[in-house]
Structure 1
């Protein structure tokens, strides 16, 4: 049985944030000097192209790019868009930008012209580094973005007009560069969050936020290959995650922390599939991974005997949605690796979760605050709720010892009102709201209740979709499910489930009745879905989260038409 070292860790933990800190130096520069031949990136792709890059190669390429960017007029504080998939050049771009004190703005390859235009205009980005696949949309909006001076093209496609090709730009530069000195509080990354209402907001992330992420990364990855009592012990750790490096989950939970510890990460440029996930983990000897619940669900449905692949997986983290006990049990029993659930946001990432190496996990829970973070459940007035009560998860700007928590963002780009609304008071000494609902046990364990706008009432009962969705998932006919309210004049709302069928099953009346009986037998009577609609695929965000808001709006529009 795992000894519970939770309180011991929290009591002894103190943040050590140097006044001067730079992500590029921490994630590459020092390793290029100390372990230059160590592998930094394993690259693989759907086209069959494979490559392996050392920390020395990463540093040299970053130096050349830093020089090229300076020649293109990029200066300290300038925002530069990175529209790239998982590949070596993406890591190079981040290191190069941090070295010159610029602000990296990762953007998803899935963004259309309108999404790109808004972010480029709002940020005032002066340059974009883009893959061939992103060029059509980027070229369409470039004229609408007056601050955008140049596009740097990555890939096997020709540059057009005033665009500059990656290879041409780097080959003309020296492989030596003297990085600028940055303060820990200086801005490093600008990530736009997709809120439930209004335009996306740009969360400005400082260099120090990477340090704030590390306790969660180390804990959720069961010390990331280190002996917990001997951090200097060599490790054969290899990391992989399908999480897009354009998002917090891929950048701050995978790429940068892996490089911070001088380990290799697998860059897979291609679509996710359960078969490919097992293949990549076996081929590269992946020991640590971050997999969204949607990915784990697909893998669970596709492979009842995952150990036959000869996996070396030692630790697994998941976030974005509640894993649920069905997936939790599969990871533990079939995969042989208990999953550490984690919770965080772009604004303050990696703050809550599990570490089954150092304290026992409670299946289905979000976990407890990681060392260095003070987390509570608060009410609408910002007061801490008693144990067992549902409220909004909040993170305090200071840890339990009164020291500033380095994990926090600097604020929303050009949006002071939204920044103030995120906190209950002074951003330097108050609670930061997450918009997620949970209840907290007396020992600090959090239990997710859904987004504030996902929870609804039916006939006076408070309904959280997660528990019902998890129950439906346990039925062999269900590949995925989302639960939303359907407006009803008598009850206020009915529980409705959208269900994606597993292969070989037909969505008929008999299955609807079977699924309703399945939920009735396992949950409270008021929780079973009064209506079930079969759907080919659920609407998802690019980070793998179910967009229940889209389904809620669909139901509201249908009700309005019926009325």
Structure 2
């Protein structure tokens, strides 16, 4: 077990945030000048395509794309959607957009037309960079997105009107570019969070948010190959994670911090499987990884890794839901690493977690506040809870020294009311509310106790009921709907929908399949309800709000008691 050096490290930590900061320069520009031949991206696809790209190659491609984007009218502050899987071009797009001061709008390849249309409309995106596989849904969504003037298509597929092939766009441009100067507080990334009772909200992250993530990243990766008290020493780390680069986990916990430290990341394009995970880690000598609990459970159940696949894995982080004792023990015994769990949100990521190299990692705990972050548990009156009492996890806008914490988002896009509601007071000097419940022990260890609102996690994905309910309501057979988690041993929770039928419709297996297909076609695959129960009326408050809490409690009681109930 590691010595407990937490108190000294946390007390001594001070933020060093420059006035001027640019993600593209920090993650690529300086490395392209200092170590141009160093590998930035290893690409590996299911089809067998493999490639190696240096920081110099990444910079040249980004320069060409920056010039192409300017030629298409993209300017500082414009929102540009990036709809790509893990691949070299995704990293190129991020570097190119940050160089011109544009705002990156990462979008998942799993999104259907409705999900894409909402985010493109709300953000006012002027251009999209998309993979061929995403084009059917994007083309359907474009009809409702008048601001989206042009699409740059990555891959081999015939372009339609107002679509420009990636290679044509880049080959016409120079490989040199002078990036714009950006301030640390300038907007950089717009990430949409799942809505609880309404539509998803766009969390606008500044350039400095990457700096705010770094202490948590290196701590959760046991200092990422560096000595925590001498970070000037070289690191031989190689990173891989199956986390989608369109999400906070893949972007801020994997791609950008890895490149920030000048180390290579493996872009493994394709569906996750335990066999592929073991193969990628062995083939590329992966030393550090972020694996969500569902992935770890699948790998554990797959049995011993294939013979001959020797792993170099030295550190492993997991987040999204609690990891139990069995998975924790398997990671230690089968993978040879002590798992570090982590907690954060899109609005302020990487704030709590473990670091087995410097303090004991306790299985199932959220960990402790990472250096630079002031985190507490408060009661309904806003008072800090006594040790062991359950309350809401909150993160202060200023650290223990009174300095601004750079990890925080700038606010919700075009939603000042939601931004104000996220904080207990002035956003620059108050607690930021997470909506997550936990208890805090005297030694600073947090233990998760569930959500304070209606969001939930399913197989590592954060689910917001509002978007799914809105989608169901578009079906003519649905009069009303409420979505809640149903406890599940494998995924943590299943998406379950309670549906009130419209007149003239029968709740049978045919309709269940039709409603599931309806959601699958419009949202992400993980959002469709795995179970649908028809109900005469939803429980409502006196003001007409759905009481999802009642339904959620009902599902918990059924899971515990196994009482019979009718569902389809």
Q: TM-score, normalised by structure 2?
A: 0.82
Kept in 1: contact 2:294–2:490 (CA 8 A): no
Matches within 5 A, 1:5-404: 5-304=5-304, 309-404=309-404
Whether the 8 Å contact between 2:82 and 2:106 is mirrored in structure 1 is yes
Deviations 1:107-139 (A, max 9, x none): 000100000000000000000000001101111
Aligned counterpart, 2:499: none
How far, CA to CA, are the matches of 1:545 and 1:363 in structure 2?
Answer: 29
In 2, are the aligned partners of 1:82 and 1:106 still within 8 Å (CA)?
A: yes
Task: Check whether the contact 1:195–1:201 (CA below 8 A) recurs between aligned residues.
Answer: yes
- Aligned residues of 2:278 and 2:305 also touching (Cα < 8 A): no
SS, match of residue 188 in structure 1: strand
In 2 relative to 1, CA 282–349 (structure 1 residues): closer, same or farther, beyond 3 Å? same
Partner SS for 1:134: helix
Matched, 1:423 2:447: no
SS of structure 1 residue aligned to 2:104: strand
Deviation at 1:227, TM superposition (A): 2.6
Give the Cα–Cα distance (whole angstroms) in 2 for the partners of residues 12 and 307 of structure 1: 45
CA distance in 2: counterparts of 1:216 and 1:76, whole angstroms:
30
- CA-to-aligned-CA distance 1:486-506 (integer Å, 9 cap, x gap): xxxxxxxxx9744559xxxxx
Moved more, 156-165 or 209-218: 156-165
Per-residue deviation at 1:382? 1.9
Contact 1:129 1:153 in 2 (8 A): yes
Q: 1:197 to 1:79 in 2, by over 3 A?
A: same
| Whole-angstrom CA distance in 2 between matches of 1:546 and 1:444 | 38
How many angstroms apart in 2 are the aligned matches of 1:151 and 1:373?
40
Q: Report the alpha carbon displacement of residue 548 of structure 1 after superposing the two structures with TM.
A: 10
Give the CA deviation at 1:545.
Answer: 10
Residues 196 and 454, structure 2, Cα contact 8 Å, conserved in 1 = no
**1:425 positional shift:** 0.4
Alpha-carbon distance in 1 for matches of 2:28, 2:375: 32
Residues 507-530 of structure 1 deviation map (CA, whole Å, 9 limit, x = unaligned)? xxxxxxxxxxxxxxxxxxxxxxxx
CA RMSD, aligned part only?
2.8
Figure out how many residues of one structure are paired with residues of the other and give that number: 491
Cα deviation digits, residues 244-296 of structure 1 (max 9, x gap): 00000000000000000000000011000001000000000000000000000
Provide the residue aligned with 1:522 in structure 2: none
Q: Distance in 1 between matches of 2:314 and 2:174?
A: 41
Task: Tell me which residue corresponds to 2:511.
Answer: none
Residues 76 and 102 of structure 1 are in contact (CA less than 8 Å); yes or no, is this contact kept in structure 2? Answer: yes
Cα–Cα, structure 1 residues 67 and 35, in superposed 2: closer, same or farther, change >3 Å? same
Q: Residue 381 of structure 1: CA displacement?
A: 2.5
CA distance in 2 between partners of 1:191 and 1:111 (Å): 14
The CA deviation at 1:143 is: 2.2
Q: Which runs of 5+ in 1 are unaligned?
A: 456-464, 471-481, 483-494, 502-538
Aligned to 1:276, the other structure's residue is in SS state helix
> Kindly tell me: are residues 49 and 225 of structure 1, through their superposed partners in 2, closer, same or farther at Cα, counting changes over 3 Å?
same
1:285 and 1:431 map into 2 onto residues whose CA distance is 41
What SS does structure 2 have at the residue aligned with 1:144? coil
Change (3 A) 1:286 1:178: same
CA distance in 2, matches of 1:547, 1:402: 45
SS at match of 2:111: coil
For the Cα contact (< 8 Å) 2:275–2:305, is it kept in 1? Answer: no
User: How far has the Cα of 1:561 moved from its partner?
Assistant: 8.4
CA distance in 2, matches of 1:547, 1:228: 45
C-alpha deviation, 1:453, in angstroms: 3.7
CA change 1:27–1:548 in 2 (3 A) is farther
Structure 2: distance between partners of 1:3 and 1:497:
37
- Return the offset for 1:144: 1.2
CA deviations over 1:173-213 (Å, ceiling 9, x no partner) = 00000000000000000000013221000000000000000
Deviation at 1:156?
1.2
Q: For residue 55 of structure 1, report the CA deviation from its aligned partner.
A: 0.1
CA contact (8 A) 2:111 2:524 kept: no
Instruction: Tell me, yes or no, if the aligned pair for 1:454 and 1:549 is still in contact at 8 Å.
Output: no
**Offset of residue 353 of structure 1:** 0.2
Distance in 1 (alpha carbons) for counterparts of 2:552 and 2:3: 48
Distance in 1 between residues matched to 2:13 and 2:285, nearest whole Å: 32
Post-superposition CA distance 1:158-187 (Å, at most 9, x none): 211121010000000000000000000000
What is residue 530 of structure 1 aligned with on the other side? Answer: none
Where 1:409 maps in the other structure, the secondary structure is coil
Shift of 1:542: 6.7
